Structure 1
Amino acid sequence: MKKIVLTGGGTAGHVTPNIALMPELKKEGYEIFYIGSHNGIERKLIEEYKIPYYGISSGKLRRYFDLKNFTDPFRVVKGLFDAKKLMKQLKPDVVFSKGGFVSVPVVMAAKKCGIPAIIHESDMTPGLANKLAIPSAYKVCCNFPETVQYLPEGKAVLTGSPIRKELFEGNRLNGLDFCHFSINRPVILIIGGSLGSVAINNAVRHILPDLLKKYQVIHLCGKGNLDPSLEHVEGYVQFEYIKKELSDLMDAADIVISRAGANAICELLALKKPAILIPLPAASSRGDQILNAQSFKKQGFSYLLKEEDMTDESLMQAIEYVFGHKSEYIEAMGKSPMNDAISVIINLINEAAESKAGKR
């Protein structure tokens, strides 16, 4: 049986694409192992899938001053020894990494042990962890055509992001019923990320009376962000977080308002959902969401509204524009070469595993 090690952690975005690959990897006959940090979010997410999980020492390399900067390099070095020991123990044919700092020693150890490693970079420009791992990689998968220029020649493959199969299994009528909505009025879905977005939450609620004249609104507002005064407003529902019913709510949505995290917007692309993207401002991030949103706007997939330009009027105009041009956005997304990321990545994994077998 072929063996594969999956790695990635630190945030859910560094884990869920790995989870999306698992059913197809099993069909292809791979025995799957996961290497993550001892106590990161990845451990909790992976354990429910009954995949053997191995924790290694992990540290974060920061661009800012922190006392942990003096101790974390030693954790990284220990992580490299841990990962190398696991490579010799598990003897995988290939490694697939979704990034995060825990993945760096795993990819480096794979290279030292002669095991091909494939990296997936979600954002437009590689983050620090992937920058460190790329020299040890066999191939680098990416989501944006513009990313290719930042990667070594011959390594970059435009794949898109693996999307969980269950997201494609939504039922519009079930979603409308769950929200007690009418089938005769269009639906806007607002997604502010797992923690929600205060700026988006406030902006949407401020124009809610005008929105509800035409639209119904599903608002995923993040933990602690429910507004009790809006509990029984007809045509509006709010949830801190939705897991099981998310695919139904996605299917019910005519348009989506979202941040511009790479995994989130790749899901919108795969589901062909016209969207207004409101990226995190550069002051709150390394600017990757702005670049992501600009790329999707350029490709005709989404409408870009910068947070600093967001007013009641500009948000209403964006909603009206996207709703009026829905079919054009859907047509552009339908032509994207990144609609079959899982198949493309599985083919790369098989190719890498065969290249290792050929060297034996």
Structure 2
Amino acid sequence: MKVVVTGGGTGGHIYPALSLIKEIKKEQPKAEILYIGTERGLESELVPRENIPFKTIHITGFRRKLSFENVKTVARFIQGVKKSKQMMKEFKPDVVIGTGGYVCGPVVYAAAKLGIPTVIHEQNSVPGLTNKFLSKYVNKIAICFEEAKKFFPEEKVVFTGNPRASEVKDVNPKMGRDSLGLVDGKKTVLIVGGSRGARPINDALLSVVGDISKKPYQVVYVTGTVHYDAVVEKVKEHSNPSNVIIKPFIHNMPDVLSAVDLIVARAGATTLAEITALGLPSILIPSPYVTNNHQEKNAHALSSKGAAILRLEKEMSGKQLIKDIDLVLSDEIKWESMHKEALQIGVPNAAADLYDLLKTVSR
């Protein structure tokens, strides 16, 4: 089996692609993979690190306002299609899959025009412009939220879930606890604002650190490297409570997620895939700065089923944060209900399901 994988820009597009590639290699060790991305995207760092053959094209996204840059983008798209076709003719893939980002546009379009079977994977509840455009040309569209179905041709849609969910199947809670120095048997809240952190979450937490020091649970706060030093200094003013652990970044996130009782986080697709696969109750504070406000809609897909508490950033305060945490951790019935609902949404075998879809459409 020969597969071209394309996707880039953010981890939310790249990590599902890497999880899928891992599944393909597990099932077919001799499978050949070619990853097509951009030189400037995060994929240029993450993909070669996994020893996956990597090639690039130059492409940018359309601006929503009239701009001469859009004329340049059209020219880059045409050139990208031409270069992608050359790569396809050399590599001769059986199937091409795009996992999101601008780079998918010319790559998947080129494959479709060459008659190569194509699939796109939409991680969010509301698709972006690229996948909406490609939906007219591809053979199948894999989705992670039922809410996304209405944006695509119904006959092409297949619910697979997010392959990233499969990363949490083989987790080690003890390793997760030990890596952070957590107290065994004590309820734990993980608060994380993404790899770059989130200032509003920082501010809410810091305003109530003194109150948290008196709580029976422990808190792990992942600040993001940008905010780490400032947060540590602020926490020092409250005598470094023993039940508050500050980290700039967590590398073994699946293990840590399996070791905690509650997460406070943004509502990116990768995060939601991981926590629902584990059945982890959540308090979601969606970023308001994303395309189509898709994080709020992602979060609503969980909160509407009772798997999460949704708090808009403008509603968030330290007092509200503690109130919500106390609500979940002090009520075993509430926690168990959220846990069960999250598991109902989760798709821990998503990577295998997406791989099966590729086999179905491949030539």
TM-score (norm. length: structure 1)? 0.92
Q: Output the amino acid matched with 1:332.
A: E
* Contact 1:60/1:72 (<8 A) preserved: yes
Answering whether residue 232 of structure 2 is matched by residue 228 of structure 1, we say yes
Answering whether residue 127 of structure 2 is matched by residue 126 of structure 1, we say yes
Structure 1 residues 196, 276: CA separation in 2 closer, same or farther (over 3 Å shift)? Answer: same
* Counterpart for residue 352 of structure 1: 361
Superposition deviation, residue 58 in structure 1: 1.3
Answering whether residue 323 of structure 2 is matched by residue 317 of structure 1, we say yes
Moved more, 181-190 or 166-175: 166-175
Moved more, 111-120 or 161-170: 161-170
* Contact 2:126/2:292 (<8 A) preserved: no
Structure 1 residues 250, 35: CA separation in 2 closer, same or farther (over 3 Å shift)? Answer: same
Q: Output the amino acid matched with 2:241.
A: V
Superposition deviation, residue 144 in structure 1: 1.1
* Contact 2:279/2:346 (<8 A) preserved: no
Superposition deviation, residue 311 in structure 1: 2.5
* Counterpart for residue 265 of structure 2: 258
Distance between the aligned counterparts of 2:290 and 2:12, measured in 1?
A: 18
Answering whether residue 338 of structure 2 is matched by residue 338 of structure 1, we say no
Distance between the aligned counterparts of 1:125 and 1:350, measured in 2?
A: 26
Percent identical: 33
* Counterpart for residue 219 of structure 1: 221
Superposition deviation, residue 179 in structure 1: 2.4
* Contact 2:166/2:349 (<8 A) preserved: no
* Contact 2:165/2:349 (<8 A) preserved: no
Name stretches of at least 5 consecutive residues in structure 2 with no aligned partner.
Answer: none
Moved more, 331-340 or 180-189: 331-340
Distance between the aligned counterparts of 2:271 and 2:146, measured in 1?
A: 17
Distance between the aligned counterparts of 1:208 and 1:223, measured in 2?
A: 20
Q: Which protein has greater RCO, CA pairs closer than 8 Å, 6+ apart?
A: 2
Superposition deviation, residue 284 in structure 1: 5.7
Q: Secondary structure at the match of 2:320?
A: helix
Q: Secondary structure at the match of 2:164?
A: coil
Mapping of residues 5-154 of structure 1, within 5 Å: 5-29=4-28, 30-64=31-65, 68-154=69-155
Tell me how many residue pairs correspond in the alignment: 351
Mapping of residues 194-343 of structure 1, within 5 Å: 194-212=195-213, 213-226=215-228, 227-229=231-233, 230=235, 232-243=240-251, 245-281=252-288, 285-323=291-329, 324=331, 325-336=334-345, 338-343=347-352
Q: Output the amino acid matched with 2:17.
A: N
Q: Secondary structure at the match of 1:319?
A: helix
Q: Secondary structure at the match of 1:157?
A: strand
Q: Output the amino acid matched with 1:214.
A: P
Q: Output the amino acid matched with 1:102.
A: V
Distance between the aligned counterparts of 2:343 and 2:250, measured in 1?
A: 27
* Contact 1:172/1:249 (<8 A) preserved: yes
Superposition deviation, residue 336 in structure 1: 3.2
Distance between the aligned counterparts of 1:9 and 1:294, measured in 2?
A: 25
Name stretches of at least 5 consecutive residues in structure 1 with no aligned partner.
Answer: none
Deviations 1:223-274 (A, max 9, x none): 221223226431111122221x323321221100010111211111112111
Q: Output the amino acid matched with 1:228.
A: V
Deviations 1:139-171 (A, max 9, x none): 111111111111112111122101265544333
Moved over 4 A (4+): none
Structure 1 residues 225, 337: CA separation in 2 closer, same or farther (over 3 Å shift)? Answer: closer
Distance between the aligned counterparts of 2:346 and 2:36, measured in 1?
A: 30
* Contact 2:19/2:167 (<8 A) preserved: no
Q: Secondary structure at the match of 2:136?
A: helix
Q: Output the amino acid matched with 1:240.
A: P
